[in-house]
Amino acid sequence: MDRREFLKTIGTAAAAATFGFSGLERVYSASIPAIAAAAQAPDLVAVRNGEPAALVDAAITAMGGMSRFVRRGQTVTIKPNIGWAVSPDLGANTNPVVVKRLIEHCLDAGAKKVFVFDNSCDSWRLCYSNSGIETAARNAGAEVVPAYSESQYQAVSLRSGTTLRTIKVHELVLSSDVLINVPVLKNHGGAGMTAALKNYMGMVWDRNEFHRKGLDACIAEASLARKADLTIIDMYRVMKSGGPRGNPSSKRELMKMLVASVDPVAADAAAARALGFEPSAFGYIDRAEKLGLGISNLDKLDVRRIVL
Amino acid sequence: VTRPEIPRARQARLFRAGRIFAASLVAAAFIGGIAAGAASSAALRLATLLSSVQLLPSLAAAFATGLAGSGLAWLVILALTALTGRFYCSVLCPLGLLQDAAQRASSIAARIFYRKPDPPTGSAFRTSRWTKRAGSFARHPVPVVFTMALAAIAVLGAMLAPSILAWLEPYALAARFFASLFGTAWEAAGEAGMWLGVQLPAPVLRTDAVWLAVAFLPGFLVVVAAVLKPRAWCRWFCPSGALLGLAAARAPFRFYIDAPTCTSCGACERVCRTGAAHSAGKNIDASACVSCFDCVAVCPTGSARYGRACYKLSRASQPQQVLHPALNKPEPAAGISRRNFMLAGGTGIVATALALPAAGLNRSFIIRAGSDGTSAPVTGNVVLNGTARPWASPPGAGSTARFSRLCLSCGLCARSCPSGVLRQGVAWWKFPAVLEPYLDYSRGFCQFECVACGEACPTGAIRQLSVDSKTSVAVAKSRLDLPLCIVVEKGTRCGACAEHCPTGAISMDRVPQAVFPAPVLDTTLCIGCGACETVCPAEPKKALVVSGLAIHETARVLPTRPGSDAQLSPAEKGAPVKGGVEGFPF
């Protein structure tokens, strides 16, 4: 932290303490270019016909640059899908190159620390290594954190939750300055589709509770614990059947696409269309919209489409 | 003390230090692999390598899979022992090292707490009345018949029933002790690290008090015995030691006492761990000697030596009929007579013959273990998630019978299992092989492309499978009880089982009983990994129960789609979504 930032922080804290104006801090400390970028940026960016790294670069640029989301000295948590102990070419986990490129963007924007974790379905060590994400993220300069111990999870009460009153989420979700959700788009046996909102199940401790209480309601409400600041859906290689783990006969399509948005509901709506469904086909998208987490009607949004 | 002897003494101390250093490295590698095996494959590989060169595991492997790989190690060990003495016991055997460490620790404790001069053999409690009695018993030479019987049990056990031998085999005993002590400690450290934000390569801490006790106690007793009397286990109970003792009895390279220079001062006898050195008789019993170099290091005249000893010459130079200092009887002669050999062999055969039927109360042990696993099934129910079902053996075992025939219950496979589904619990229904691992689907599920347990197994009880063949080996089969499924019972959306099923055996489909898609199970595709049962959210009973197969099967495999990067054909893609712009589907 340099002197200017230090003074700014002191000033903000003093102002907040004096006036009790809780929103002041965020407004005051945001840099002018970031505000300008946010004002101009589209609601959703979709990029296609490129390799993973190029897709990320184009999407981040169109979103107004990573500095719009990550400011100097902040901590960032990137939450990919590292659910399965399978190799990257099967599309069961987020593409490691996407994760790597995102980490590099965060560090370029001045992030103090970038964490990567997922509460995997298969044994976490095998998932972390077989997915290629552990190596890619470490090489890019991130800290790869395990998520297998209940002691890492903190209970959060969800005020507008009706099915989930409290939920235990990974401490990094709560403590990081910036949360970036980076799912991979897949067919899903239980929920129909897994993309942005469904990826939250890897941030919570008790997934089984979601199944017992009803997947649609729980998936929609989980985002209430903390809405991701940025959602990036990897649609480079899309598993269209037999998901989320995939089996030898799973259909996979090389879609070479990527969607970025600050609105997880809009991102999931785009993902649904990519799988060949209307967003209303998946109950949790509708529920999340009613909870005020986003807008699923893409016609109402400013969507920027980029073909590389 | 003559001048020229000093370099010899210095050299001997160097050798002693070297053997302690080598032994410590081996012990560290074992402890590291057993404690952190599930987290670090390098640590596990080292421990696996060391376990595959253990005498009885190797002998069992030879009977199981023939003279190849780890089935060859026993031949090398016996040949080297017959040539050079029991270095195996002082360097490679983890239980030997454990006893030496216990003895050393007690001598240090004696120095600190009793402030007495360090007794040469280093036991803290040597001077107590109790141990004096134990000591006088210990000074009696171990009856040769007893040793021979143990050796016979070693061979017959490795041949016919390693699962009985499991209780006496020193490597397995030490591995379980290390796992209970250091494994648990390391897991606890990992858990503590989580709180402090430090990442340790530690497996998940799983407390299992009964296992902890059963794995810990035998090793602990060996340690206590070693504190009271150094290497007590090796002298009286160890089947490996007995076998190696036979091999070493007439080793040309050996520890011996040079009679002409020896003054019978008693230094070697006081320091000897196994009572092999006889100062008055000026000889060292090569079959009892564990090659620790202590006598050579302490001998003031340089008479205790290691080297090529002319056996007959040294016998001839010894005064005959020396009275044993403790017993007032003639010194026992080194070596074993033919009469004793026959007697002991017979005793061993009878002992094993008696042990086998006793062990076979619950199941048959003596069975031909065909490589295809065709043998009488070993049955037994295990209660998991509240439901009793036949137990399942790990992939590579072939059949429960073959597995039970060959497993020494060392637990290295369970330590290597990343999900913890392969569990060394205490399976009372498998008595006496209660520590034989089984698949516990309440703790996790078998990872589809993981073959760690087969790589870890030192006896070949779990054969090493390639990933390709492992993924179609069915060790159990799942059974679906649809009325218990929450999709049917509660009318909610689920599908956790289908999500986790790696083979596509479970798919979600419309069924008449439910509004939402419900699981449909194709058992021909099921390999019994247990993922579906582990994740099934139904309570109190799971809708899926995975039951072990007595004989493993090969499951049907779904046809693989060509190249995962293949573009789907237009027909497979289906109709383009309406409302797309610029080639985007939205």
Give the whole-angstrom CA distance, residue A236 versus residue A90.
Answer: 11
Note the pLDDT of residue B574: 55
Could you give the 3-state DSSP secondary structure of residue B545?
strand
> Is B585's CB within 8 Å of A189's CB?
no
Chain B hits for A208, Cβ within 8 Å: 496, 535, 537
> Residue B373's pLDDT band (boundaries 50, 70, 90)?
very low
Q: What confidence tens digit (pLDDT) does each residue in B11-48 have?
A: 888 899 999 999 999 999 999 999 888 788 888 889 98
Q: Answer whether A163 touches B (CB < 8 Å).
A: no
Note the pLDDT of residue A14: 54
Q: Please check whether residue B492 is in contact with residue A214, taking contact to mean a CB–CB distance below 8 angstroms.
A: yes
Residue A81 has pLDDT above 50, yes or no: yes
CA of A273, closest CA in chain B: separation in Å?
6
Those of residues 187-206 in A touching chain B at CB distance below 8 A are 188-191
The minimal CB distance from A276 to the residues B195, B492, B574 is found for B574
- C-alpha distances in angstroms, B261 versus B7, B192, B299, B431? 16, 59, 11, 56
Chain A hits for B448, Cβ within 8 Å: 85-86, 122
CB contacts < 8 A, A to B, total 150
> Is B565's CB within 8 Å of A89's CB?
yes
> Is A276's CB within 8 Å of B577's CB?
yes
Note the pLDDT of residue A102: 97
Could you give the 3-state DSSP secondary structure of residue B306?
strand
Note the pLDDT of residue A41: 87
- Please indicate whether residue B87 or residue B371 has the higher confidence score (pLDDT): B87
Q: Answer whether A256 touches B (CB < 8 Å).
A: no
B252: which residues sit within 8 A by CB, 6+ positions away? Answer: B83, B308, B309, B311
Q: Please check whether residue B282 is in contact with residue B309, taking contact to mean a CB–CB distance below 8 angstroms.
A: no
Q: What confidence tens digit (pLDDT) does each residue in B286-319 have?
A: 888 999 999 998 888 888 889 887 654 444 444 4
Residue B537 has pLDDT above 90, yes or no: yes
Residue A154 has pLDDT above 90, yes or no: yes
Using CA coordinates, name the residue in chain B closest to A187.
B499
Residue B335 has pLDDT above 80, yes or no: no
> Is B586's CB within 8 Å of A269's CB?
yes
- C-alpha distances in angstroms, A31 versus A24, A37, B246, B426? 13, 10, 83, 63
Q: What confidence tens digit (pLDDT) does each residue in B116-166 have?
A: 554 544 444 444 454 455 444 445 566 777 777 888 888 888 877 777 788
Chain A hits for B557, Cβ within 8 Å: 248
| Closest CA relative to residue B449, chosen from B469, B465, B471, B464 | B471
Chain B hits for A270, Cβ within 8 Å: 585-586
Mean of pLDDT over chain A: 89
CA of B434, closest CA in chain A: separation in Å?
27
Note the pLDDT of residue B322: 47
Tell me which amino acid residue A259 is: V
Note the pLDDT of residue B358: 46
Note the pLDDT of residue A273: 94
Q: What confidence tens digit (pLDDT) does each residue in A86-122 have?
A: 999 999 999 999 999 999 999 999 999 999 999 999 9
Note the pLDDT of residue B6: 55
Neighbours of B439 (CB within 10 A): 27
Q: Please check whether residue B382 is in contact with residue B389, taking contact to mean a CB–CB distance below 8 angstroms.
A: yes
Exposure string for B200-224, b = 16+ CB within 10 A, e = fewer: bbbbbbeebeebbebbbebbeebbe
Chain B hits for A86, Cβ within 8 Å: 448-449
> Residue B340's pLDDT band (boundaries 50, 70, 90)?
low
- Region A72-82: mean pLDDT is 97
Exposure string for A219-255, b = 16+ CB within 10 A, e = fewer: bbbbbbbbbbbbbbbbbbbbbbbbbbbbbeebbbbbb
Chain B hits for A215, Cβ within 8 Å: 492-495
Chain B hits for A247, Cβ within 8 Å: 501-504, 558
> Is B486's CB within 8 Å of A251's CB?
no
- Please indicate whether residue B361 or residue A58 has the higher confidence score (pLDDT): A58
> Is A152's CB within 8 Å of B565's CB?
no
| Chain length of chain A | 308
Chain B hits for A145, Cβ within 8 Å: 199
> Is A298's CB within 8 Å of B580's CB?
no
The minimal CB distance from A305 to the residues B194, B566, B584 is found for B584
Q: Which two tokens stand for residue A165?
A: 């009153």
> Is B496's CB within 8 Å of A213's CB?
no
Note the pLDDT of residue B1: 44
Mean of pLDDT over chain B: 81
The minimal CB distance from A149 to the residues B194, B572, B580 is found for B194
* E strands in chain A: 44-48, 75-80, 113-116, 143-144, 153-157, 166-170, 178-182, 184-188, 192-194, 230-239, 252-261, 303-307
The minimal CB distance from A247 to the residues B503, B573, B581 is found for B503
Tell me which amino acid residue B171 is: Y
- Region B67-96: mean pLDDT is 91
> Residue B260's pLDDT band (boundaries 50, 70, 90)?
confident
Least confident of A118-132, A177-191, B48-62, B105-119: B105-119
Give the position of tokens 């053999």.
Answer: B121
Neighbours of B309 (CB within 10 A): 21
The proportion of chain B whose per-residue pLDDT surpasses 90, expressed as a percent, equals 39
Q: What confidence tens digit (pLDDT) does each residue in B559-580 have?
A: 887 654 555 555 555 555 566 7
CA of B33, closest CA in chain A: separation in Å?
16
Chain A hits for B484, Cβ within 8 Å: none
Beta pairing class for A143-144 and A113-116? parallel
ipTM, 2 dp:
0.86
